[in-house]
Amino acid sequence: MPSTPVDLEKRRRTLRWVVFLSTAALIFDGYDLVVYGTVVPVLLSDPDQLGALTPGQAGTLGSYALLGVLVGALAAGAVGDRIGRRKVMLVNLAWFSVGMAITATTQSVATFGAFRFLTGVGVGALVATVGALVAEFAPPGQRNRYNAIVYSGIPAGGVLAALTAITLGDSLGWRGLFWIGALPIVVLLPLALRFLPESPKWLVARGRYADAEAAQIRTGIPVPDPEPVVEDKVGFPALASRRFRLPTALLGMMSFAGLLLTYGLNTWLPQIMGDQGYGKNYSLTFLLVLNLAAIGGGLIASFVADRIGAKRVVASTFVLASLALAALPLSMPAAVLFLAVALAGVGTIGTQVLIYGLVSNYYPTSARAAGVAWCAGFGRLGGIVGPIIGGVLVGAGVGGSTAFQLFAGISLLGALVTTMVPRSSHFERPATDLAQDGDRSTVAA
């Protein structure tokens, strides 16, 4: 049945709410990621905060949240394709907020690490669920850009954390910075309860056709035709099927590389630059540039990905990161140095934004949440390794040059793995292909 003007307006309004709530949730994920990097220098220099802390211990402490993210992402993938995207989002908005609030009150390294882990569980579940949710609401031919908009919330949260630390860090202290991360439970959760719908595609995939039709009346989102279930498997078992086994491994390796670079740089860039003679605010400005460039560059790259395909763009941005990171240890004017940091942000954090979009469109609905969860969860192992590598190198006194060169090599490996990912019949075709088939009206919807 053709959509009426009322249905189209409902659909646009629903999409706006889904994108807004998903982006806002990931802004706080990005804030959590970067706020720890902004307080590391304080925790290292002042043992009265949590106790004596070495650089190696700080790197390990930074990985506790990522272990939680791994657990949360895999847990969300295990249940998200069975109980729905909405329930997972609501529960973990509250979980994440409570974790941040309790972390702000801790008094020792052990309790700080424990609640960083528990907070990470909520973060991981959100990251794993958002990609599936947005992919199922976004119009065909525009899914990469909508995923990029939403996942740009992560570097946007990094920008928020850096700006807050620069402007309010001295007055709020590190505990105040963590209290800010608890705001979703009072500003986002009530809105999500009211305006976040369940995915009609998921309802159809679970055989709940009456609920999907009721959702269409409320949201204007048309009820899709059922997709064939992959070998009668749902969630993680589908990823392990013969059809998806190889691409699942390769996509996980891509995310591993992307998140190793993202977390390694966000955790240690201020400290490395400080060791090279830059003042505190100057070092935090590098962090700001890194994440701002990731937002702008990731959005531009997503438009290109919708035209020519995400796989080509991801491989190219990995190579861009390698070149920029290899240049960072070189002596260069400040303007050129900031440009290199910006390009590194596009090629690392921006690349990870594109990877989430690629993965969320790679799998069918019956395995989409599990696919994104696998990518977010396994990738977080790279996020755990990144801060530890930085901590070991800084503690050994070899610092920036070696770390940047190592990260550049990992970027090249990420590009190589990307080129090996096979095409999937469920993978969204580029907009140029759709247009050539005469489907321009769908692309422009």
Distance CA 190, CA 136 (A): 23
| Most confident residue range from 201-215, 308-322, 416-430 | 308-322
CA atoms within 13 A on the CB side of 435: 11
pLDDT at 431 over 70: no
Check residues 141 and 126 and name the one with the higher pLDDT. 126
Q: Which of 131-145, 279-293, 341-355 has the lowest mean pLDDT?
A: 279-293
The whole-number pLDDT of residue 435 equals 39
pLDDT band at 445 (very low <50, low <70, confident <90, very high): very low
pLDDT in tens, 344-387: 888 888 888 888 888 877 887 777 778 888 887 788 788 778 77
| Residue, of 413 and 66, whose pLDDT is higher | 413
The per-residue pLDDT for 224 is: 63
* Dihedral angle, C-alpha 390, 394, 398, 402, nearest 10 °: 20
Candidates 149, 134, 141; CA nearest to 444 is 141
- pLDDT score, position 382: 84
When the pLDDT of each residue in the chain is averaged and rounded to a whole number, the result is: 79
Which pLDDT belongs to residue 189? 92
Q: Which of these ranges, 66-75, 99-108, 226-235, 333-342, has the smallest mean pLDDT?
A: 226-235
What is the model's pLDDT at position 319? 92
What's the topology of domain 5-443? Answer: Growth Hormone; Chain: A; (1.20.1250)
| Mean local confidence (pLDDT), 35-55 | 77
Residue indicated by tokens 């940047």: 404
Q: Assign 432 a pLDDT band (cuts: 50, 70, 90).
A: very low
Where residue 415 falls among pLDDT bands split at 50, 70, 90? very high
- For residue 328, the model assigns a pLDDT of 78
Residue 291 has pLDDT above 60, yes or no: yes
DSSP 200-251: HHHHHHTT-HHHHHHHHHHH-PPPPPPPPPGGG--SHHHHTSTTTHHHHHHH
Helix (H) or strand (E) holding 81: helix 55-83
Residue 426, pLDDT > 90, answer: no
For the chain, how big is the Rg over CA atoms in Å?
Answer: 21
Look at residue 293 and tell me whether its pLDDT is greater than 50. yes
Lowest mean pLDDT among 71-75, 218-222, 309-313: 218-222
Q: Around Cβ 436, how many Cβ atoms within 10 Å? A: 11
Domain range summary for the chain, segments of one domain joined by +: 5-443
Residues 260-269 have pLDDT tens digits of 888 788 777 7
Q: What is the pLDDT of residue 16?
A: 87
**Angle ∠(237,353,128) on CA atoms, nearest 5:** 35
pLDDT > 90 fraction of the chain, expressed in percent and rounded:
8
* pLDDT higher than 60, residue 439: no
- What CA–CA distance (Å, rounded) separates 196 from 126? 14
**Cα distance between residue 82 and residue 359, in whole Å:** 19
pLDDT reported for residue 361: 79
Q: Is the pLDDT of residue 168 over 70?
A: yes
Name which of 315, 302, 391 is nearest 353 in CA terms. 302
**Range 323-342 average pLDDT:** 82
Instruction: Please tell me the least confidently modeled range out of 107-111, 114-118, 143-147, 183-187.
Output: 143-147
What was the pLDDT predicted at 373? 82
More confident residue, 56 or 193: 193
Mean pLDDT of 383-404: 72
- pLDDT, residue 438, reads 36
105 three-class SS = coil
Mean pLDDT of 209-223: 72
Q: Which range, of 126-135, 180-189, 209-218, 349-358, averages the lowest pLDDT? A: 209-218
Q: What is the pLDDT of residues 305-323, one digit of tens each?
A: 888 888 889 999 999 989 9
Instruction: Check: CB of residue 396 under 8 Å from CB of residue 276.
Output: no
What integer pLDDT is reported at residue 232 of this predicted model? Answer: 56
